[in-house]
């Protein structure tokens, strides 16, 4: 959207707000905004979700979960997925408008993406994020936001919302009361960069505040985060919305305001324009008691009306009004979902058994997750037009395939088919055992029957262990005892402890929550129609005991950037069916080049990852940090030279005061493809004295 059109929509929002009286203004500041007939403003529900597809509004294409998208290391893919999501959202919106349905999940304000940092593997909502790295999260967040909002000169296709601001990453049971105490260095080095990029690079139109407090201030009533930083230093000009019910927490959980009236006034005066919840029903009384000014109400409503104007809600000539309901959940969109899942899946182990030859063996597909819809859908999902699960997809490639679930996901009392599955396994050549978790075990604190804690494995959405449920561990041992070829297909939103099975099972594929077409992607990889190319966007630790307490928000000994131990599988790791050789790493005038050769027998994608380390300082910096990456395809025998353009900005770091600095000294450079590391003496050199590039804004 051009700056001129942004100003036009801003003026339209101000003009509408100026015409409203106090009660009308107050009626627009909750997520279920009322109609104002005299101004031709229809009612509108702001709450909609599109984490990996339009959610909770009937049929839609269900793409791989966000953490799976991150494993592809492919911003172009993420952008394309978001474009499709925005198209389907418009298709649904247009149909809903035509029948007068203006209810929840039918609007164009999509409360996605979740760009929090997945700092701890116990966090149940980690699979909603793009992983543990701030640079990768920023790149993918920007791509997703731009895809949702579109590139029309006059209108937003949909409105994106970056959440949850800020420093929000569990534990889920304490999120309504917890105070995240975090240093300025960790704030500006890890927790905030993706949000800054969402605002300044992607021009996101909405930001959602988190439930928790950050350094003492509730995130939805924080003069520091909302005023000084977001509006002031970063120049955010969109709308700020509370997480659902978060304003009640300010009063009744955080005890930050003495009563509901003062809580509502505090949030609005700090800059929370929109509430998801009910506390803002008190705003007329707040105004009558002079706790909020009419000018504050008007300014807040003007911002909201500017967003609705930018979405074309008050215009008849918006080109997106023409998008037909027939464009929702098309076969073409489902094909994109399957292709994306193929890029996302990570090959963790392979002793040479993969790829399998089609129709060359008898296969048993077993394990609860083989036919468990939640293991494909994750959370915040739509309803797919059709599923393609592992059993169906494998049978299409290998006719002699049988299926028996064998066990429940976690409940040993529901394992009536175990004996049958093991009998079938005796006659099989290869066992495909679908292990892992689903959204009933890891997820959000709220959510009814999907509130986490399946089989008491986690608590209110979070996990307490990295191990598979006990019933699955026992079933794996039963299958191993048969002496058959055994491949684990693992569905989960984060790391699992596979140490007991390394060298004992023949292969392990980390499938994440791969979307409704995930079975097709898995089968394509199993039978060599494509080579695995996904890379881990999180560290796979060995054990919870290796990392700090869940409630400790310091980054020390967390994520690949600071972890001091040896991980089970490192960030960026992922095997292939072929071998990529890295050579000739050179740096000249800011241009770093590396030669990649496919020396194997398969055409394949790979992901080149460029890392740096920092000059020594009295304080701890990341021991390594991702600064560039590129996904590329090489045919067998093909050689390519990849170039990364570097500038000094790629080497900026953050000191203890929260200042952005450019340190004097050498920055060693390392290139990896997820299998091999090219670690040479190549360095980026800064001979100038250490300089503060930007002072901490808070």
- The residues that are catalytic are 243
Crossing angle (nearest 10°) for helices 193-200 and 134-149: 30
d(CA 514, CA 528): 18
**Max CA-CA distance within the chain?**
79
Provide CB contacts within 8 A for 180, sequence distance 6+: 167, 168, 212, 213, 214, 215, 553
Give per-residue burial for 185-218: e unless 16+ CB within 10 Å, then b.
Answer: bbbbbbbbbbbbbbbeebbbbbbbbbbbbbbebb
Which pair of tokens denotes residue 259?
């009563």
Which pair of tokens denotes residue 143?
């791509």
Contact 554, 593 (CB under 8 A): no
**CA distances from residue 635 to 418, 479, 578 in whole angstroms, order as listed:** 43, 37, 10
d(CA 116, CA 192): 9
**Partners of residue 633 on adjacent β-strands:** 605
Provide CB contacts within 8 A for 575, sequence distance 6+: 346, 347, 348, 349, 350, 532, 674, 675
d(CA 180, CA 10): 35
Provide CB contacts within 8 A for 380, sequence distance 6+: 49, 51, 52, 55, 56, 112, 128
Sign of the four-CA dihedral 37, 41, 47, 49: positive
Q: How many CB atoms lie within 10 A of CB 366?
A: 30
d(CA 133, CA 120): 12
**Partners of residue 625 on adjacent β-strands:** 612
Provide CB contacts within 8 A for 184, sequence distance 6+: 654, 656, 657, 658, 696, 698
d(CA 522, CA 425): 20
d(CA 674, CA 609): 8
Which pair of tokens denotes residue 527?
């039978």
Q: What is the 3-state secondary structure (H, E, C) of 303-319?
A: HHHHHHHHCCCCCCCCH
**Partners of residue 434 on adjacent β-strands:** 489
Three-state DSSP class for 105? Answer: coil
């Amino acid at each position: 959207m051009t700056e001129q059109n942004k100003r036009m929509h801003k003026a339209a929002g101000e003009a509408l707000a100026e015409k409203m009286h106090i009660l009308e203004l107050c009626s627009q500041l909750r997520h279920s905004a009322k109609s104002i007939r005299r101004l031709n403003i229809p009612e509108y529900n702001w709450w909609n979700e599109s984490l990996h597809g339009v959610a909770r509004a009937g049929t839609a294409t269900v793409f791989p979960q966000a953490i799976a998208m991150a494993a592809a290391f492919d911003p172009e893919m993420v952008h394309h997925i978001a474009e499709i999501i925005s198209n389907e959202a418009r298709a649904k919106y247009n149909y809903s408008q035509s029948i007068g349905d203006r209810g929840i999940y039918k609007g164009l304000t999509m409360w996605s993406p979740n760009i929090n940092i997945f700092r701890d593997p116990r966090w149940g909502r980690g699979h909603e994020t793009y992983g543990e790295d701030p640079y990768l999260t920023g790149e993918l967040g920007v791509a997703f936001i731009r895809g949702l909002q579109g590139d029309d000169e006059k209108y937003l296709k949909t409105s994106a919302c970056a959440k949850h601001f800020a420093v929000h990453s569990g534990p889920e049971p304490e999120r309504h009361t917890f105070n995240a105490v975090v240093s300025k260095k960790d704030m500006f080095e890890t927790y905030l960069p993706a949000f800054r990029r969402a605002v300044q690079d992607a021009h996101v139109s909405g930001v959602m505040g988190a439930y928790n407090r950050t350094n003492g201030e509730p995130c939805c009533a924080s003069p520091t985060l909302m005023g000084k930083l977001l509006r002031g230093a970063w120049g955010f000009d969109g709308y700020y919305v509370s997480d659902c019910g978060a304003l009640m927490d300010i009063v009744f959980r955080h005890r930050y305001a003495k009563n509901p009236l003062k809580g509502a006034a505090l949030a609005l005066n700090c800059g929370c324009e929109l509430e998801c919840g009910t506390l803002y029903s008190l705003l007329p009384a707040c105004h009558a008691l002079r706790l909020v000014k009419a000018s504050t109400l008007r300014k807040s409503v003007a911002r909201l009306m500017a967003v609705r104007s930018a979405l074309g809600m008050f215009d008849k000539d918006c080109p997106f009004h023409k998008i037909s309901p027939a464009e929702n959940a098309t076969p073409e969109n489902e094909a994109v979902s399957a292709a994306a899942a193929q890029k996302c899946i990570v090959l963790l182990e392979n002793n040479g058994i993969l790829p399998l030859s089609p129709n060359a063996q008898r296969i048993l597909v077993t394990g609860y997750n083989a036919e468990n819809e939640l293991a494909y859908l994750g959370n915040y999902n739509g309803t797919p037009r059709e599923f393609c699960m592992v059993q169906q997809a494998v049978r299409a490639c290998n006719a002699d395939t049988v299926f028996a679930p064998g066990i429940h996901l976690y409940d040993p009392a529901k394992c009536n088919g175990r004996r049958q599955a093991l009998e079938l396994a005796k006659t099989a050549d290869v066992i495909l055992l679908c292990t892992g978790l689903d959204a009933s075990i890891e997820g959000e604190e709220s959510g009814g029957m999907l509130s986490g804690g399946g089989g008491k494995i986690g608590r209110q959405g979070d996990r307490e262990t990295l191990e598979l449920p006990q019933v699955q561990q026992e079933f794996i041992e039963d299958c191993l005892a048969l002496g058959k070829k055994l491949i684990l297909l693992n569905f989960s939103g984060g790391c699992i402890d596979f140490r007991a099975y390394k060298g004992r099972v023949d292969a392990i594929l980390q499938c994440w929550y791969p979307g409704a077409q995930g079975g097709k992607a898995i089968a394509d990889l199993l039978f060599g129609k494509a080579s695995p190319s996904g890379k881990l966007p999180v560290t796979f630790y060995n054990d919870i005991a290796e990392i700090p307490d869940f409630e400790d928000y310091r980054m020390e000994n967390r994520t690949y950037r600071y972890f001091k131990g040896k991980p089970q599988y490192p960030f960026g790791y992922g095997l292939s069916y072929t071998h990529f050789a890295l050579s000739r790493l050179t740096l000249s005038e800011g241009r770093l080049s590396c030669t990649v050769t496919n020396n194997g027998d398969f055409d394949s994608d790979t992901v080149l990852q460029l890392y740096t380390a920092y000059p020594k300082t009295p304080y701890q910096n990341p021991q390594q940090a991702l600064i560039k990456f590129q996904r590329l395809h090489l045919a067998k025998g093909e050689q390519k030279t990849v170039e990364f353009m570097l500038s000094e900005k790629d080497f900026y770091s953050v000191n203890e005061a929260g200042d952005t600095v450019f340190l004097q000294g050498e920055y060693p450079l390392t290139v990896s493809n997820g299998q091999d590391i090219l670690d040479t003496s190549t360095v980026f050199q800064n001979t100038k004295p250490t300089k503060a590039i930007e002072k901490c804004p808070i």
